[in-house]
Amino acid sequence: MSDQHKGKLILNMKSELPALFPSTTIYNSQTCHILSGGTGALALQLVQHLNAHGAKRFLLLSRQGSNGLRSSDATMLTDLQRFGIEICIEKCDVAKLEDIQNVLHTAQMKFNVSSLKYSLLHLAIVLDDAPISKLNIQRIENVLQCKVTGAMNFLQLIPGEQLENVIFFSRAASTFENPSQANYSKANIFLDNYANQLSKL
Ligand SMILES: NC(=O)c1ccc[n+]([C@@H]2O[C@H](COP(=O)([O-])OP(=O)(O)OC[C@H]3O[C@@H](n4cnc5c(N)ncnc54)[C@H](OP(=O)(O)O)[C@@H]3O)[C@@H](O)[C@H]2O)c1
């Protein structure tokens, strides 16, 4: 912010937010940024943030694909594409290994690079809130499959040497549980611990 005294105070806001992530490779223009849950609110903010700092290739994944986009978000993505940003929006259930296999193949073809590097931002989320007394296996699996199985599927399929960054989106609720979100908390606890293990490799 800068200010100048001209009888009244004029404040100019900086137009760009500073980089959120410490690793500069996350903003690499050649890297394919995979955002699971790519049509969700946070993912679409991240696409804009990453692009503002240099990222130019995006693979946005969700079960509904572009059908799940609000029209204002679809317009925002189309505008970015007009500026040469490569954005591929694909239907993919991250809980299904074969879906991820297919979209990785699609990305390879679409971005036409022999050995594509990836940054994974795993945001996909399903909620099925209920007090513990009403939880059953199905309601637990509904939530865990997306966050837990999804994360493991990506790590199983993307060779380590092609994976530049892995970011799991968890939540403070994994530490401070909300009532009725035991399944969501457990999924986030898994991601926190999995990230911790991966960072030691
Ligand atoms: N928003 C917050 O305030 C907040 C706070 C703390 C942490 N977080 C974390 O940030 C992440 C994103 O949150 P958000 O609020 O932006 O989410 P959101 O707007 O609810 O979006 C969820 C996204 O996940 C997709 N999805 C759900 N199941 C999927 C599956 N099996 N395979 C692929 N995609 C799937 C949805 O699309 P389809 O339905 O088409 O599949 C949608 O694109 C979450 O992991 C959450 O835990 C968010």
Structural domain includes residue 192: yes
Residue 29 forms part of a structural domain: yes
DSSP assignment of 123-167:
---------GGG--HHHHHHHHIIIIIHHHHHHHHS-GGGEEEEE
Encoding tokens for residue 63? 């079960």
Identify whether 5 is part of a domain. Answer: no
Overall domain count for the chain: 1
For the Cβ of 28 lying below 6 angstroms from any atom of ligand 1, the answer is: no
Which pLDDT tens digits describe the chain residue by residue (201 residues)? Answer: 445 555 666 666 566 667 778 777 899 999 999 999 999 999 999 999 999 999 999 999 999 999 999 999 999 999 999 999 999 999 999 999 999 999 999 999 999 877 899 999 999 999 999 999 999 999 999 999 999 999 999 999 999 999 999 999 998 766 777 789 999 999 999 999 999 999 988
DSSP assigned state of 30? S
Domain of 94, CATH number, reads 3.40.50.720
- Give residue 124's domain range: 25-199
C-alpha of residue 39 to centroid of ligand 1, in Å: 8
Is 19 among the domain residues?
Answer: no
Residue nearest to atom 25 of ligand 1 (CA): 37
**CB-ligand 1 contact for 69 (6 Å cutoff):** no
**Ligand 1 in contact with 59 (CB < 6 A)?**
no
Domain membership flag for residue 17: no
**Residue 65, in any domain of the structure:** yes
CA of 10 to the centre of ligand 1 (A): 39
